Every structure is written in structure tokens, then in C-alpha cells.
Structure 1
């Protein structure tokens, strides 16, 4: 997905991180948060 549509991947990752921040994603695993944060950085 990163090669085919990096903008969509960035948007989805950003929305997931926002859901975590707002408390809409209950009890995400710490490694999931780290992977999402790293993916967001890599896609930018």
C-alpha cells in the first residue's frame, strides 16, 4: 500500500492515531501504537 497509495496509508494511519488519542480505541497494544507512529513517520 505504501508504494501504491502512500497518501491513503498516511491518512488511515493518522486517523488510527487520532482515535487512540481521543480514547476511541480502547486499550491498544503499546507495540501497535509504536508501529503506527513509525509508519506515519516513514510515509511522510
Structure 2
């Protein structure tokens, strides 16, 4: 009986940790950038 409870609890804890990890990855992948990359100059024509 103790092994069954241990197996169930480890499954629940593992699923919770996996859920937190997936939520962290999705959150970091969909977060807005800290600055607008369109404001940076990409091509420098030598005008200084």
C-alpha cells in the first residue's frame, strides 16, 4: 500500500513540476521584448 501511495505522489509531483516548467518556457517565449528592435539601425552607410 505504501508503494502505491508513493507512486501516486511521485506522479503528482512530477506532473506539477513539468507543468511549471512548461509554463515558464511558454511565458519566456511569448514575453514582449524589453526594447523595440525596430528602433535600432540595421544598415550603416558610413555617415558619421
TM-score tier, shorter chain, comes to 0.3 to 0.5
Higher relative CO (Cα under 8 Å, sequence separation at least 6) belongs to 1
Structure number with greater Rg is: 2
TM-score (structure 1 length as normaliser) = 0.43
